[in-house]
A and B are shown apart, each in its own frame.
Chain A
Amino acid sequence: DQQVKQNSPSLSVQEGRISILNCDYTNSMFDYFLWYKKYPAEGPTFLISISSIKDKNEDGRFTVFLNKSAKHLSLHIVPSQPGDSAVYFCAASALSSGSARQLTFGSGTQLTVLP
């Protein structure tokens, strides 16, 4: 049972426009959310995160929105650039019995920004 879902395997956007990537989760214990970007043949790289006490976090062209009641978060990229073309993973974590939190990842969305 997938606890973090990215229902769109792919998304194509024109350069300069907004890219919106979506993520849904089912575990109400999740209280910290992250987005990672992955280029081919590389490991995922951290992009932006948000704590459940916030509903928005912004970093340059990237903004993450969290809707706790809907158990939904989204990543907005504006303006989109060709270099943003990558696979984007949503991840979530909850306090666990261990003292290092585990991340649960979604299946990823391939973003293609067209020039």
Chain B
Amino acid sequence: DIQMTQSPSSLSASVGDRVTITCRASQTISSQLNWYQQKPGKAPKLLIYAASSLHNEVPARFSGSGSGTDFTLTIGGLQPEDFAIYYCQQSDSPPLTFGGGTQVEMK
């Protein structure tokens, strides 16, 4: 199985801050990397697929980059509704494993 490692596991930030989360794959996965946002009691929501493509109706302050083994999710200007847990997921080969998550908390 491909292992996905996210860092940091949690971070504190303020509204308006630029936030960066990283995800590393245990082997190369090309650009087959997805990002999700999950709020308490809700299902995860797809934000970005194929490393850098924004899913429908996702605000443009979210962006993704990277290829191979190293990937980044950036929130350019944190909004109150962005405080949540973020997960990466590789979709290069089954099992399509998730990272351990990054909790973005209010400072």
- On whether the two chains bind one another, the answer is no
B residues lining the A interface (CB < 8 Å) = none
A residues lining the B interface (CB < 8 Å) = none
